[in-house]
Amino acid sequence: MTSPADPHTRCYWHINGSTDTLLDRLAVAELCKGWPVYRDASEWKNYRSLFADDAIVWTTWSGPRHIDDFIEISKAGKAQGVFIMHRECGTLVELNPARSRAIGKMKATITHRFKFDSATCTASNGSDGGGVTTPLLAQPAEFDVDCDCRFIFFCEKDAATGEWKAKYVKLFYEKDKVVPVDGHTAPRFSAEELARIPEGYKYLGAAQARLGYQIDLDLPTAGGELWARMYGEMEKWLDGKRVDLDWERAEKNGQRQ
For residue 171, the domain's CATH number is: 3.10.450.50
pLDDT digits (tens, 9 = 90+) for 187-212: 889 999 999 999 999 999 999 999 99
52 within domain boundaries: yes
244 within domain boundaries: no
pLDDT digits (tens, 9 = 90+) for 201-254: 999 999 999 999 999 999 999 999 999 999 999 999 999 999 999 987 655 555
Determine phi and psi for 109, rounding to 5 degrees.
-120, 125
150 within domain boundaries: yes
How many alpha carbons lie under 13 Å from residue 150 in its C-beta half-sphere? 18
DSSP letter, residue 230: H
45 within domain boundaries: yes
What's the rounded Cα separation, in Å, for the pair 142 and 115? 4
What's the rounded Cα separation, in Å, for the pair 205 and 194? 8
Residue 218: other Cβ atoms inside 10 A:
18
DSSP letter, residue 140: P
Domain that holds residue 74: 19-120+135-239
109 within domain boundaries: yes
Domain count for the chain: 1
198 within domain boundaries: yes
159 within domain boundaries: yes
The mean pLDDT of the chain is 90
Query: DSSP string spanning 85-113?
Result: EEEEEEEEEEEETTTTEEEEEEEEEEEEE
Q: What is the mean pLDDT of residues 138-165?
A: 92
252 within domain boundaries: no
Q: Are 153 and 31 in contact (CB under 8 A)?
A: yes
DSSP letter, residue 178: E
